[in-house]
Structure 1
Amino acid sequence: MISGAERGKGGDALAKHLLKPENDEVHVLVPRGLGSRDLIGQVRELVALSLGGRTDRPVYHVHADPDPAIVDNDAARARFWALFEAEFNLASQPYCGAVHVKHGRRHEHRVYSLVRPSGAVVDVAWDFLRRERCARVVEFEHGMPSPTPSKHSRAIVSALRQAGRDDVAAWMEASGTTEAPRPVARLSPQERLIETRTGVPLDDLRAAALAAWTASSDGEGFLSALRARGLDLRQGRSGPVVVDRTGTAHLATRLIGAAARRQDGTRIPAAAVKERLAGLTLADHGETNGQDRRAHDRGQVAQAARGGPRDGAGARGNPGGADVAGGAPGAHADGGRPDRSGVEHALSRVVARPAAARLRGRLRLMSPGRNAALADAIEGVRSRRWTWVPGQVDIWGLPITGDRPRLG
């Protein structure tokens, strides 16, 4: 049984992903704790209900895909979700989701809110290992001959014994999964997304970077070998990065190390890569890179990032090097704003505004017309009936449990 999870901000893109038409069938689940009628509205409501939590990633997207060897797919999914909610203490949290059928296989997606009514945030630390433990129990109980290989097998066996599931632990040990070499995925989830977005196969990029590495003996030679293969080397936030043809950066130490490991099983240490590249003076990634690089090649970048002309040309293609049209001296290429209008001064400018202007801005932000998701969530709440016990309120001070008055 395979499961996956991603924590994020939510949004319409997530709901549309769950409704994507490339599946043979899509069955929207009956939500829990939500009043919206469609999946997009339900995800918006989840986000709105989570606004009081101290997190910028209040939404937890989880999917469960039972192995084809399991005959009763529905029962396996139900058992997994029961174990999963007990493991993460999510049994009372709102969720929505959908069941997908693709190529005859059925799997389920759920989107949970991680913010409790009190404002506390659900702890999902070590979630991969914890979800794997739930999956192994489901596989054992549904008669799979052996567990799905996992690099956490030994840790899972230890946790199962602590939880009193010696039967599942013994089944895993008998299968040899705790002694087998740890499986290594070809791509991490993030690398898979980058490969899909850029269209550049990561295996090809790794091979080209390794070929440049073996064809050189110093940093300058490595840089020349990369450029001969259509790549470049820049300075990133965490060290030198290899830049592909789309302008996407890949950490050099990781790229070369992974390429060597896949070729002969021996990884080139990061220290060795850093030592060879230590003497190079590299431009920062982002300077004349990606979109800017292509525009520069066409001769359409007329002004440098700090307001000066680039390649002898003035702003907006003015050969005389004049300032931005309509801008004051010292204006940037971002529309003529002076230096003091940088992002770092935004808060101080807001605070310095007159009180009446700040009030008008606050009212505009709070207007339901400005926040459709919040308006939909409020309408969904008003359409339900809540219970109430005096003295018990949620994070907004609203009663949450007793008599059944109707809100709105």
Structure 2
Amino acid sequence: MRGQGEGDALAKHLLKPENDEVIILQPRGLGSGDLIGQVRELVTLSLGGRTDRPVYHVHADPDPAIVDNDAARARFWALFEAEFNLASQPYCGAVHVKHGRRHEHRVYSLVRPSGAVVDTAWDFLRRERCGRIVEYEFGMPSPTPSKHSRAIVAALREQGRGDVADWMEASGTTEAARPVARLSPQERLIETRTGVSLDDLRAAALAAWQASETGEGFLAALKASGLDLRQGRSGPVVVDRTGTAHLATRLIGAAARRADGTRIPAAAVRERLAGLALQNHGDGHGQDRRAHDRGASAAAPGGGSSHGAGAGRDASRAVPDRDAGGTDADGGRHGGRSVEHALDRLVARPAAARIRGRLRLLSPGRNRQLADALDAVRGRRWIAVPGMTDMWGLPIGERPRLG
């Protein structure tokens, strides 16, 4: 996944204690001594790039049928870096050991010293091609099913790897029905963050759709299930109990396809919901949700939340309205709220809160750790490469090799 990398959430994810063992990798091109500092340094080094998503998080998880897990991961990373021309890019990461199985996370900077950005177009297909080569070379009996199988075979033949292409075709993977994952990576993150099962949400939305014949009936059926219907930036969105928005056309269409294999067209959903006077998602919904959480917390045994996966959490720490972002989500800023809404919210904040925000922005110690990490990199010995400069006109150098 590509992202901004800001904050420490990514580093904390790599350090999560639920693993049996976390082995921090030796970083490349970074001077910070810990993983959190290394991710911050990656972000700092990428600030001059022409992208708002300069960090690339990838993980390699060899199939259990591969006996030599370490060698398989090493081979994958060699192929991966050659494919994306990342061999000289800084990275950090960790190896996770869980239930005796190892997988490896790496976080790369996509911004080159010149300010250019690494091309990651068609990255799913290109990464899977690397994976198929590893599976073949390490003796797996058949390749992992992929919706890109035919394109991967064609690309392998162009690269002179007809042996891998023949192996894939002999397995029947190019003729099999294209597999559909239950959740996309983004949807898995949303499900983990909110504690709301997307399968359950889809089933509830489909049941409401099938139990109604009009937009008003659909809205009433949703509310009876504890859901709501709002207007998002890309159309009506189904809002779950955490305030997360899911684009109604995608949610219902995916639910129908999983239920009986037939997809309800987006046009049919839009036609039924046309004419409904829906409140914009984000307008007052946060207050409604917080009131609901307070009531649920008071009603639950022990005063805790009654929200299943979120039970026991403080209602004051409920997930705020945010953009769901995944396949079933309404794309846009912060759950569909527009920029003008943000200005209104800032103006409406209490005077004391506005003063605290101003002081935090003016604090001289803010981002000091990032500045220290950058200074540490700049303080190392470099050898200038004649005739090469970065986007600011400063000489591009190479670290001297020792020994």
TM-score range, shorter chain: 0.7 to 0.9
Residue 71 of structure 2 is aligned to residue 75 of structure 1 = yes
Q: Which residue of 1 aligns with 2:228?
A: 232
CA contact under 8 A between 2:241 and 2:289: conserved in structure 1?
no
1:156 to partner: Cα distance: 0.4
CA distance in 1 between partners of 2:159 and 2:18 (Å) = 40
Which of 73, 95, 102 aligns to 1:106? It is: 102
The number of equivalent residue pairs is 344
1:26-45 alignment runs, 5 A limit: 26-45=22-41
Q: Structure 1 pair 402/122, CA: closer, same or farther in 2 (3 Å)?
A: closer
Q: Structure 1 pair 233/204, CA: closer, same or farther in 2 (3 Å)?
A: same
CA distance in 2 between partners of 1:50 and 1:187 (Å) = 30
Q: Which residue of 1 aligns with 2:325?
A: none
1:292 to partner: Cα distance: 4.0
CA distance in 1 between partners of 2:32 and 2:122 (Å) = 32
1:212 to partner: Cα distance: 1.2
Q: Which residue of 2 aligns with 1:356?
A: none
1:187-266 alignment runs, 5 A limit: 187-266=183-262
1:374 to partner: Cα distance: 3.1
Q: TM-score, normalised by structure 1?
A: 0.78
CA contact under 8 A between 2:4 and 2:43: conserved in structure 1?
no
1:297 to partner: Cα distance: 9.8
CA contact under 8 A between 1:48 and 1:374: conserved in structure 2?
yes
Amino acid corresponding to residue 82 of structure 2 in structure 1: A
CA distance in 1 between partners of 2:193 and 2:229 (Å) = 21
Q: Which residue of 2 aligns with 1:117?
A: 113
Q: Structure 1 pair 193/81, CA: closer, same or farther in 2 (3 Å)?
A: same
Q: Which residue of 2 aligns with 1:157?
A: 153
- Report which of the two structures shows the higher radius of gyration computed on alpha carbons: 1
1:91 to partner: Cα distance: 0.6
Q: Which residue of 2 aligns with 1:333?
A: 348
Deviations 1:135-183 (A, max 9, x none): 0000001110000011110110011111111110010000000111111
Amino acid corresponding to residue 212 of structure 2 in structure 1: S
**Percentage of identical aligned residues:** 82
Q: Structure 1 pair 96/106, CA: closer, same or farther in 2 (3 Å)?
A: same
CA distance in 1 between partners of 2:290 and 2:384 (Å) = 61
Q: Point out where structure 1 has 5 or more consecutive residues left out of the alignment.
A: 300-330, 342-361
CA distance in 1 between partners of 2:171 and 2:392 (Å) = 52
Which of 370, 380, 389 aligns to 1:393? It is: 389
Deviations 1:211-237 (A, max 9, x none): 111111111111122222222211111
CA contact under 8 A between 2:4 and 2:52: conserved in structure 1?
yes
DSSP-derived class of the 1:66 partner: coil
Q: Structure 1 pair 287/400, CA: closer, same or farther in 2 (3 Å)?
A: closer
DSSP-derived class of the 2:285 partner: coil
Which of 283, 299, 315 aligns to 2:279? It is: 283
Deviations 1:51-108 (A, max 9, x none): 1111111111111001111111111111101100010000111111111111111111
CA contact under 8 A between 1:133 and 1:160: conserved in structure 2?
yes
CA distance in 1 between partners of 2:292 and 2:100 (Å) = 49
Q: Which residue of 1 aligns with 2:374?
A: 378
DSSP-derived class of the 1:388 partner: strand
CA distance in 2 between partners of 1:127 and 1:291 (Å) = 40
1:390 to partner: Cα distance: 4.5
CA distance in 2 between partners of 1:37 and 1:276 (Å) = 57
CA distance in 2 between partners of 1:268 and 1:378 (Å) = 52
1:44-83 alignment runs, 5 A limit: 44-83=40-79
Q: TM-score, normalised by structure 2?
A: 0.79
CA distance in 2 between partners of 1:65 and 1:195 (Å) = 21
Q: Point out where structure 2 has 5 or more consecutive residues left out of the alignment.
A: 296-345, 355-360
Residue 82 of structure 2 is aligned to residue 86 of structure 1 = yes
Q: Structure 1 pair 376/206, CA: closer, same or farther in 2 (3 Å)?
A: same
CA contact under 8 A between 1:49 and 1:377: conserved in structure 2?
no
